[in-house]
């Protein structure tokens, strides 16, 4: 039979679906597709943890059916109400008649507003424990990581943590464990996912990691809702990576995010980069003609400075900059410094608008260079100096951090 379950631990099966062709996840460019992970725990009773996207319902069902008939499912736990994990629930309920659907308080509320005609949902409190099928389940609310409804399900006796989107990545794989896949790709996809999904809640991530430790939760397996599963030493590795991401410590790396009409703003970008590099600080140019907004998010996670440049078109900044800055504003990057630049023909409003965006994001602005039409050598020198200034400030900040 096609589409089998994969046993990830004794009595615990992966029964998710692989979305190989996925290229766009609500505006997040997925270079490697994704997986929606659902898990089946088979004790004296049968528990399903999360489901998959609606259109992959059949794939999930076949994987479940390779272990037990669908009607044997006694409980469905919804760790996260978002439709990539709850979408197949309504369809599932046509074939399975669980005794209870279990969710957090906000989960119950959010599920009902997305999937209509759901039966009554059993609400579990933060920290509540239940014995299901002879196995102990503990539910830990992780509000705003990354939705109000999000929670962890922890199996203390089995030392398995079902972490929904936390520790996830959009990475379609046929080998289910992290240690069976390319580590650099995993790390990159984790950072990419963190930057785009969890970055705004970094403070909460740090608090949650502390809480997990305080509760004495030391998983042998972290099974998230997207991408491969962590086991053994990879569990500690994943937690350490998350701590690093969440701290958002500044690094000696500056990104230059810009667009250009006739090449002038681009010339300025290159001169600024030259100035940065002259101070032995890394500069990364991100022309928006070819850079996806979700990539800018990862780049800013890894950087200490963001320098934004835009030409002025009809008295306004370039739309691509408005797109990316609107997105970044929502992601609330911390501990960055900024600068702005841009070429214009006659009015030059764009740089002022860029300043407003950065101020709204509470990013201190180190400097600004405006240029009417094409930059000459003197103007390029000014750009170079801006780069030097940003680089020196970065070294200052990073140095202070290291000494302190």
Which residue ranges make up the site for another protein (CB under 8 A)?
A: 106, 141, 143-144, 148, 201, 204, 362
> Whose Cβ is closer to Fe ion: residue 83's or residue 206's?
83
Minimum CB distance to another protein smaller for 42 or for 106: 106
Distance CA 359, CA 256 (A): 17
Q: Are the C-beta atoms of residues 243 and 206 closer than 8 Å to each other?
A: yes
Phi first, then psi: what are they for 19, rounded to 5°? -105, 75
Smallest separation, CB 269 to Fe ion (Å): 34
Shortest distance, position 79 Cβ to Fe ion, whole Å: 10
Q: Output 28 or 137, the one with its CB closest to Fe ion.
A: 28
Which is closer to Fe ion, CB of 19 or CB of 82?
Answer: 82
189 binds, among Fe ion, another protein, none (CB under 5 to 8 A by kind): none
82 or 189: whose CB is closer to another protein? Answer: 82
CA distances from 280 to 75, 209, 254, 285, 287 (A): 57, 35, 11, 16, 22
Q: Helix (H, G, I), strand (E, B), or coil: what is residue 139?
A: strand
Closest separation in Å from C-beta 249 to Fe ion: 26
Q: How far is CA 394 from the centre of its chain?
A: 25
Minimum distance from CB of 20 to another protein (Å)?
Answer: 33
Return residues touching Fe ion (CB under 5 A): 82, 84, 165
Establish how many alpha carbons lie within 13 A of residue 357's alpha carbon, considering only the half-sphere containing its beta carbon. 27
Backbone conformation region of residue 327, classed left if phi is above 0, alpha if psi is from -120 to 50, else beta: alpha
Judged by beta carbon distances under 5 to 8 A according to partner kind, the member of another protein, Fe ion, none in contact with residue 201 is: another protein
**CA gap 364, 347 in Å, rounded:** 25
204 binds, among another protein, Fe ion, none (CB under 5 to 8 A by kind): another protein
Considering the complex, state which of residue 29 and residue 334 has its C-beta at the smaller distance from another protein. Answer: 334
- Whether the Cβ atoms of residue 36 and residue 16 lie closer than 8 Å to each other: yes
Residue 245 CB, nearest distance to Fe ion (Å)? Answer: 17
CB 324 within 8 A of CB 296: yes
82's contact among Fe ion, another protein, none, with CB below 5 to 8 A by partner kind, is Fe ion
Residue 338 CA: distances (Å) to CA of 174, 357, 363, 371: 42, 11, 6, 18
Strand partners, 309: 258, 341
141 makes contact, choosing from Fe ion, another protein, none, with CB < 5 to 8 Å by partner type, with another protein
Report what 58 binds from another protein, Fe ion, none; CB cut-off 5-8 Å by kind: none
> Which residues are marked as active site?
26, 80, 82, 84, 146, 165, 193, 226
Q: 125: buried, middle or exposed (CB in 10 Å: 19+, 13-18, 0-12)?
A: exposed
- Report residue 364: phi and psi, to 5°: -65, 135
């Amino acid at each position: 039979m096609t589409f089998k379950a994969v046993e990830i631990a004794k009595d615990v099966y992966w029964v998710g679906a692989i979305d190989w062709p996925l290229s766009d996840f609500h505006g997040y460019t997925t270079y490697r597709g994704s997986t929606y992970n659902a898990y089946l725990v088979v004790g004296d009773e049968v528990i399903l943890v999360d489901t998959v996207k609606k259109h992959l319902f059949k794939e999930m069902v076949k994987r479940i059916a390779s272990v037990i008939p669908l009607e044997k499912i006694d409980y469905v736990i919804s760790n996260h109400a978002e439709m990539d994990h709850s979408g197949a629930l309504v369809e599932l309920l046509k074939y399975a008649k669980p005794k209870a659907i279990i969710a957090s308080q906000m989960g119950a509320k959010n599920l009902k507003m997305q999937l209509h005609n759901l039966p009554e949902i059993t609400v579990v409190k933060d920290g509540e424990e239940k014995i299901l099928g002879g196995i102990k389940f503990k539910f830990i609310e992780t509000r705003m990581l990354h939705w109000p409804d999000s929670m962890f399900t922890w199996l203390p006796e089995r030392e398995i943590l079902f972490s929904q989107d936390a520790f996830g990545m959009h990475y379609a794989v046929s080998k289910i464990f992290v240690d069976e896949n390319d580590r650099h790709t995993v790390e990159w996809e984790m950072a990419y996912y963190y930057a785009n999904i969890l970055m705004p809640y970094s403070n909460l991530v740090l608090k949650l990691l502390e809480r997990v430790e305080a509760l004495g939760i030391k998983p042998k397996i972290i099974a998230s809702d997207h991408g491969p599963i962590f086991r053994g030493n990879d569990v500690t590795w994943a937690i350490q990576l998350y701590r690093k991401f969440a701290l958002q410590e500044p690094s000696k790396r500056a990104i230059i995010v810009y667009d250009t009409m006739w090449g002038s703003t681009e010339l300025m970008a290159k001169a600024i980069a030259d100035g940065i590099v002259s101070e032995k600080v890394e500069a990364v140019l991100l022309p928006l003609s070819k850079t996806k907004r979700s990539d800018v998010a990862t780049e800013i996670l890894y950087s200490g400075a963001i320098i934004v440049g835009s030409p002025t078109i009809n008295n306004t900044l370039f739309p691509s900059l408005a797109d990316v800055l609107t997105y970044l504003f929502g992601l609330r990057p911390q501990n960055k410094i900024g600068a702005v630049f841009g070429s214009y023909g006659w009015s030059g409003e764009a740089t002022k608008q860029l300043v407003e965006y950065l101020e709204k994001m509470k990013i201190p602005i180190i400097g600004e260079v405006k240029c009417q039409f094409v930059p000459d050598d003197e103007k390029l020198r000014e750009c170079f100096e801006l780069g030097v200034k940003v680089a020196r400030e970065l070294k200052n900040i990073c140095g202070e951090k290291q000494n302190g």
